[in-house]
Amino acid sequence: MLELKDIKKHYNVGGNITKALDGISVSFRKKEFVAILGTSGSGKTTCLNIVGGLDAYDSGDMVINGKSTKAFKAEDWDAYRNNTIGFVFQSYNLISHLGIIENVELGMTLSGVSKHEKKKKALQALEQVGLKEHIHKRPNQLSGGQMQRVAIARALANNPDILLCDEPTGALDTTTSVQIMDLIREVAKDKLVIMVTHNPDIAHEYADRIVEFKDGMIISDSHPHVEQPKEDRFQLKKTSMSFLTALKLSFNNIRTKKGRTALTAFASSIGIIGIALILSLSGGFQIQIDKFQTDSLSNFPITITQTTMDMDMETMSEQSREARSEMMGTSSSEDEYPDAAAVYPYDPSKNSRAHTNNFSDEYIEYLEEIDPGMVSSVGYTRTVGLNLLMKKDGKLSSLSSGDIGFSSYPKTIGEEDSMSYIEQNYDLLAGKYPEGKNELVLVISTKNTVPISVLKALGLDAEAEEIPFDEILSLSFRSVKNNDYYAKTNLGIYTINPDFEAAYNSENSEELKIAGIIRQKEDVEIAVLGEGIAYADVLATDFINDAAESDIVKAQEEADFNILTGESFSTASAIPSSMGGSSNSTASMMGMMGGGSGAGQSMTKDALLSMLGATGTPYMINIYPVDFESKEAVKEYLNTWNNDKEKDEAIYYTDLAATMTDLTGGIMDAITLVLIAFAAISLVVSLIMIAIITYTSVLERTKEIGILKALGARKKDITRVFDAETFILGVFSGCLGIAISYLLTFPINSVIEAMTELPDVAQLKPVYAISLIAVSTVLTMMGGHIPAKMAAKKDAVEALRSE
């Protein structure tokens, strides 16, 4: 059944050629016990390894059951070893970290025999070799003879056609040797058994046939056989080891070195711990920041002012260098800090990047048509003076809007009965929420304070320790129409009518009452109204409607000089500078009016007209989105207006809150990235460490690789075994890292809470945890894959020889 035809195997070591086999031709019967005898170095083992497919011949042919092996590929040889050959070695070659049954099952494991069948056959084989009572022991708990029996059982379990024994009794005492030889002779009754030995006594006593080797050639054959030509009846069943089998094998191996595995896993988990903590902290902080921002900034308005920048911050910074050099009066190609002993003239207005938003009536209409679901209210800041007169203790006085912090509160959009801005954001402390244009409110601070200047202007006792609400609620004013408030003088200019009494009592004047006292709600972070008196916008618009037709406005529209002072107008555009959060106040305008003194010169005609109520155009519009989410929709709505507009006619808004959010978000992301980069270094270190450890493991398991190969494992299977090992290590270190990180979040959170009062900042998101375990696994497998490949390439014969 097996025929060697002129097999040659030469070794060339440093130019020295050893002819291990020098033209061997021999045939073997299907059932016989052949002993190969010969002196040391005569080529016996080489011949056995070639027959067993562990080693490749240089020339000649080996024919098995009529099939030439010349065209065999690596996988055919693997299958051949697995299906056809059983090996028994001098040094048993059992895998020590596997149990006896698993050792016996190994060949069947490789060829994918079912679990139940495998076990049955293994037990049968173990019974055949007389080891039934020892099956629960580990290989190193057995005697030499018992180990060799396990090896024989393993060789027989897969029911091979050929049993190859290389000095099977070489390591055993005489009595045990006899038992083992009896066993092998028993096997040889229905198999081809080829046994290499240097012991002629054993050979003669047990073998049916003795083939003698010398210097790589056969010098005698006691019972030659001539193989008849046969048709090819040879069939191979391909081997394949599942990843699960590889996992089991590696898991068993890892179990034998628990300490080392734990240390390795811990070391390589440090990078994971670092990244997990950074992610959970930065994520946690971001959540806190976002929460703070949505809480506090949702009632932060989108602002549109008459004068604004016509570009967003990003383009600004891109262009700032250019702009700066332009402002320096030099072209951008010229240097900063020039050496010239001269100054360059430059016109700032030419380089101004200001954009004028022209609020047309259509735009205001467009704004107010916004979906009330997105915008709760809109606030208008106007520069109109409302000609306020107050009567206190029978005495009349003119009230400066600036002094009483006069500002309009945002107008509610949509349903009449929906909550007004004031109701949403302010608690009512006394009186009632204002309704209509004749009711005002006093806004006080969260500490119930009101600036002395406001109190004084209202004619209250600012020296007193406290002023009861009632006293404030009893105050009343009148807003006097322009025609009653201003009087024309003989000089052709207008002045405030000195007859307050007549103005106050005019039937056209509006009675105004302080209806309530309000204070910012505790859960509202930012409220826009400054401390002082707040009024409804409709008061201003009604006033303006009337004022547009008033004498002073008409006179001013015609005159090229300031109708109140007789002075000429300044040409420079006057832009109020104090436009902070609570600047609905008209204070800045009042300052500009300046009662005709020097400051008045800085006022333009437009500004004065606006102050007199000639135009309904607000100075600034604040839009209050319903919540943080609807803000984007509002911006979208505002952008839509600009779609078909020229640049000059476009209306640009400012979203200060978004600028802040982007800024903090960006900083957070940058910090996180830098920290992760640092932690990643430790991941790389652990990658290298894993590679080294796997390589060590490959060295340690060289023998096992040889055994697996002898049993028919493919290169792939060997790679799989080590990949499985690093897989286990990767999953383990990933899980360990995540577990440690999770535990660490508790002390970290208590430290952070003690420092910042923010609770539960560090939060390990499950998605991060799972991703990091995956990252750890993939990285570890990457680190171990090259050594695993190296292991697969190992020469089976050399691997078996290693100790």
- Measured from the CB atom, the residue of 12 and 175 that comes closer to ligand ATP is 12
Residues in the interface with ligand ATP (CB under 6 A) total 13
- Shortest distance in whole angstroms from residue 707 CB to ligand ATP: 18
Measured CA to CA, the distance from residue 781 to residue 783 in angstroms comes to: 5
Rg (alpha carbons) of the chain, rounded to whole number: 49
> What does the longest C-alpha to C-alpha distance in the chain come to?
153
Quote the Cα angle for 474-475-477, to 5°.
Answer: 140
20 belongs to the binding site for ligand ATP (CB under 6 A):
yes
516 belongs to the binding site for ligand ATP (CB under 6 A):
no
- Measured from the CB atom, the residue of 171 and 650 that comes closer to ligand ATP is 171
- Quick one: which segment of 33-41, 144-152, 247-255, 618-626 binds ligand ATP (CB under 6 A)? 33-41
User: Of 441, 457, 376, 444, whose CA–CA distance to 408 is shortest?
Assistant: 441
13 belongs to the binding site for ligand ATP (CB under 6 A):
yes
The DSSP bridge partners found for residue 708 are none
- Shortest distance in whole angstroms from residue 238 CB to ligand ATP: 28
40 belongs to the binding site for ligand ATP (CB under 6 A):
yes
Residues in the chain: 803
- Shortest distance in whole angstroms from residue 41 CB to ligand ATP: 4
Per-position x/- string for 531-570, each x denoting binding to ligand ATP as judged by CB under 6 A, each - no binding: ----------------------------------------
- Quick one: which segment of 40-48, 308-316, 649-657, 754-762 binds ligand ATP (CB under 6 A)? 40-48
38 belongs to the binding site for ligand ATP (CB under 6 A):
yes
Per-position x/- string for 169-208, each x denoting binding to ligand ATP as judged by CB under 6 A, each - no binding: -----------------------------x----------
- Considering only 22, 29, 41, 786, the residue that binds ligand ATP (CB under 6 A) is 41
- Measured from the CB atom, the residue of 25 and 39 that comes closer to ligand ATP is 39
User: Of 767, 763, 738, whose CA–CA distance to 748 is shortest?
Assistant: 763
- Shortest distance in whole angstroms from residue 4 CB to ligand ATP: 14
What the block records as the tokens of 434 is: 């204002």
- Shortest distance in whole angstroms from residue 198 CB to ligand ATP: 5
What the block records as the tokens of 436 is: 């209509």
User: Of 21, 75, 73, whose CA–CA distance to 51 is shortest?
Assistant: 21
- Measured from the CB atom, the residue of 217 and 555 that comes closer to ligand ATP is 217
- Shortest distance in whole angstroms from residue 43 CB to ligand ATP: 4
- Shortest distance in whole angstroms from residue 92 CB to ligand ATP: 16
- Considering only 32, 42, 157, 584, the residue that binds ligand ATP (CB under 6 A) is 42
User: Of 616, 607, 382, 386, whose CA–CA distance to 485 is shortest?
Assistant: 386
Hunting for tokens 């300052």 — which residue is that? 591
Hunting for tokens 């990658």 — which residue is that? 687
Sequence-distant (≥ 6) Cβ neighbours of residue 181 within 8 angstroms: 168, 169, 202, 205, 206
- Shortest distance in whole angstroms from residue 797 CB to ligand ATP: 7
Do residues 64 and 241 make contact, with C-beta atoms less than 8 angstroms apart?
no
The DSSP bridge partners found for residue 378 are 411, 623
Measured CA to CA, the distance from residue 336 to residue 334 in angstroms comes to: 7
379 belongs to the binding site for ligand ATP (CB under 6 A):
no
Reported in sequence order, the residue ranges of 206-301 that DSSP labels E, i.e. its strands, are 209-214, 217-221
Backbone angles phi, psi at 449, to 5 degrees: -90, 155
Reported in sequence order, the residue ranges of 275-423 that DSSP labels E, i.e. its strands, are 302-305, 307-309, 354-356, 375-381, 388-392, 395-399, 407-409, 411-412
- Measured from the CB atom, the residue of 20 and 729 that comes closer to ligand ATP is 20
Quote the Cα angle for 142-148-150, to 5°.
Answer: 75
- Shortest distance in whole angstroms from residue 170 CB to ligand ATP: 9
Residue 141 DSSP one-character state:
G
- Measured from the CB atom, the residue of 101 and 151 that comes closer to ligand ATP is 151
- Shortest distance in whole angstroms from residue 1 CB to ligand ATP: 23
44 belongs to the binding site for ligand ATP (CB under 6 A):
yes
Hunting for tokens 């609807």 — which residue is that? 630
- Considering only 7, 24, 34, 45, the residue that binds ligand ATP (CB under 6 A) is 45
Do residues 734 and 772 make contact, with C-beta atoms less than 8 angstroms apart?
yes
794 belongs to the binding site for ligand ATP (CB under 6 A):
no
46 belongs to the binding site for ligand ATP (CB under 6 A):
yes
What the block records as the tokens of 621 is: 């519009």
Hunting for tokens 């091979």 — which residue is that? 160
- Quick one: which segment of 41-49, 373-381, 414-422, 483-491 binds ligand ATP (CB under 6 A)? 41-49
- Considering only 5, 34, 37, 43, the residue that binds ligand ATP (CB under 6 A) is 43
- Considering only 8, 18, 124, 664, the residue that binds ligand ATP (CB under 6 A) is 18
Task: Give Cα 647 to chain centroid, integer Å.
Answer: 40
- Shortest distance in whole angstroms from residue 717 CB to ligand ATP: 24
- Shortest distance in whole angstroms from residue 110 CB to ligand ATP: 25
How many CB atoms neighbour CB 719 within 10 A?
Answer: 20
Measured CA to CA, the distance from residue 760 to residue 303 in angstroms comes to: 35
- Shortest distance in whole angstroms from residue 88 CB to ligand ATP: 15
- Measured from the CB atom, the residue of 206 and 486 that comes closer to ligand ATP is 206
Which residues are at the interface with ligand ATP (CB under 6 A)? Answer: 11, 13, 18, 20, 38, 40-46, 198
